[in-house]
Amino acid sequence: MDDQQSSDFGTWLGRQLRRTGINQTDLAAQLGLTRAAVSAWITGRAEPREEVKRRIAAILGTDTASVYNLADVIAERPRRWHHRPAHADGGREYGNVAAFAFDADLAVLAREATQNSLDERYELAKPIRVRYTLHEVTGEHLEAFQAAVRWHELSDHFEHAASARQKVSRSLRAALDDLARDRRLLLLRIDDFNAYGLTGPEYDDGRYSAVVRRQLDSHKSDSFRAGGSYGLGKATLWASSRFGLVLINSTLAVPHEGHIERRVIGRLELPWRKVNGEAFAGPAWFGELDTEPHHKDIARSWWAEEQTVRDLYLDRATAEPGTSFLIVGAHDASGDANSLPEMHEKLVNSLADGFWAAMVGGHAAEPLMEASVVTLRNGQIVIPEQRVDPRERHPALTRALQAYLNNETVRELTSGEQVASIDVPLTVPPLRGGTRGGSKGAEHEAVLLLTPAADSDIRLNRVVCMRGNRMTVMERRPRELPLGAAPFKAVLLAGHATGRTGEDVALAEQFLRASEPPEHDRWGRTEELSSLYERGALSRLEEFRTEIDKAVRSLVGRRESKRGDGPAVLRELLRLDAHGQVGSRPPQGVATVRNVSATVEADGAWQVRVDLRLPETDDPWLLTPVAKFDVRSGGRPVVSWKLLTPAENCRIEGGSVLIDAGIRSATFTGVTDPSTHPVKGAYSRLVIDVQKARGGAE
């Protein structure tokens, strides 16, 4: 007897007993055997003889072929919603705390959900494919979907949960009112392909339980390379649903209960409520009711028929392993995207911003990921599937990373679209109570890539920092850039993002991951960092930032700045003059620009932030910022300011920036008036000239 055959038969038999409601004792009695014999079959320690299998088939009400083919006796059992009873000690949760760790924003959802998919890539030689589908349903399509998900079983729970005074209840009340008035529902499905899928048992440890049953359980296929580490990211799925409702369909890379395709379950997150005199804790699950004594009447996942997943809008395009999450009542709480086209565009841009690096490949390797977005209404295409192309939104960054992957970087920039590469040292401090990496820590060489900005780039002179599976952690502007430096874009690769191997790589990855908060948006002080590492860990991070800035300055400083290099979105040219009346002495020292940043807003206005460093002087500074559009010939036309705002250590008076004597640094911001622009802001170069104001200051 083959051990695997025994195990497969035992798994099948246990499943059929649950589905038919027959327990092991009853089966043993009908067969005239001991319960221990039946238990040995189910656990895979033994397998019954052929004549016993035929008798088992008769008891289960099926034919012998079903026993040998391990086919389900009952294809699908009735499905119900199971609501978790309230805590016996009187404790109440008026919402899922994990959901409040993030904003209910489509950009955040795209970042967290896609990162989880990227961390679960199955075949490493192939990219993982992520597909976002916006689907608005109305009329008969809405009614059919509500029937499939048994919405009528939830009505009383929704109403009572929405009657409380807490934030979640108020939001739910608004969602129910909108649904009743508009009779429309927005479904957002997130599919990944070439992922592991939700493998593992129903209640014990595994990917399935980590997502469906638990909070703060980060069960990753490769925890050393994973971007996420808190187990919080999945909460954004439920936070993005106005009803707290997510349906799931998973195709498994590893069989469970003898099946691979269409493992389906639903989970609902509601606040504490009382319905018909019975109190409920919060979450509920949609599935087949379990028949096992320890989990009786708990809704568990089931292996659905193809028509069922179509009715639930969970049908998958291919049989590749992976998972589909359907967010019921999806919305963008930020208010940035309300219509279907706006939400479609925001998803495309968010995927490009967060995962452009994962979508870049080289000569020797495929990209790590592919992504697309499609929008439907009642089954009809509204916006065709749009493949996310990182080159469209981040041309310079894409060029930089591709050059690195192709081993085509240079040590010094000498021409237009070259990519310079330089190592940046990171000292990884030792772990508390351990000797790994040595008593002084380990030295890791991160990689900085720098290239001239492209014409379409708008956020210039910044370093995009990443680790792991090329997960973008943060974007920062280097300090003390030289004046007149040509606009650039830069990428900092650390840990596994370098593509290198070695103990220092693993140690750097672990260290940087420990320094990230749940949002994974910076490297800084965290409780995990303080708990795991010896004193001085925060100083090592500050030293790392200093080394990054130093590396940037060394690369941009090697290239002569030429004003005729071609168009760029922003040219940082600031001329600073100290205030003084006619005949007064020159300013003491030289004022410098610490930081300059600029973006083009949606209405075409330029928004500029200028950070000034001022020498010690007895005189105040009175400066007039002038915005000009750079042109190839002739004078530069002056554009008007729509708004000038003091940010730090200054005042705005009559269109000028007034800085008191003794102040060593100041910051102001400005927004140009688009009505005075000779051309669209996105097609221009902007020059900010900070001039001495006429008349001086008293």
pLDDT tens digits, one per residue of 3-41: 555 567 888 888 788 778 788 898 999 999 999 998 898
Above pLDDT 90, what percent of the chain? Answer: 46
Q: How far is the CA of 469 from the CAs of 231, 271, 348, 635, in angstroms?
A: 17, 36, 20, 48
Averaged pLDDT score across all residues of the chain:
84
Say which amino acid occupies 558. R
Given the candidates 2.40.50.140, 2.40.30.10, 3.40.50.1220, 1.10.260.40, the CATH classification of the domain at 3-69 is: 1.10.260.40
DSSP string, 634-658: SPPPEE-EEEEEEEES-EEETTEEE
Q: Spell out the domain ranges in the chain.
A: 3-69, 79-387, 395-556, 592-692
pLDDT tens digits, one per residue of 631-690: 655 567 888 999 998 888 888 888 888 888 878 788 888 999 988 888 776 666 778 777
Tell me the H-state helices in 278-325: 306-311
Distance from C-alpha of 355 to C-alpha of 471, rounded to nearest angstrom: 7
**Which residues contact residue 179 at a Cβ distance below 8 angstroms, ignoring those fewer than 6 apart?**
185, 329
Q: Is residue 547 classed exposed, middle or buried when 0-12, 13-18 and 19+ CB atoms within 10 A define those classes?
A: middle
* Other beta carbons less than 10 A from residue 32's beta carbon: 8
- For 186-200, give one letter per residue: b (16+ CB within 10 A) or e: bbbbbbbbbbbbbbb
Compute the residue count for the chain: 698
pTM beyond cutoff 0.75:
no
Q: What is the DSSP letter of 95?
A: S
Fold adopted by 592-692: Immunoglobulin-like (2.60.40)
Check residue 633 and give its pLDDT: 54
| Residue listed under structure tokens 């030429």 | 562
Residue segments in the chain with a per-residue pLDDT below the cut of 50: 1, 222-231, 437-438, 559-589, 695-698
Check residue 218 and give its pLDDT: 54
Check residue 659 and give its pLDDT: 86
Check residue 580 and give its pLDDT: 32
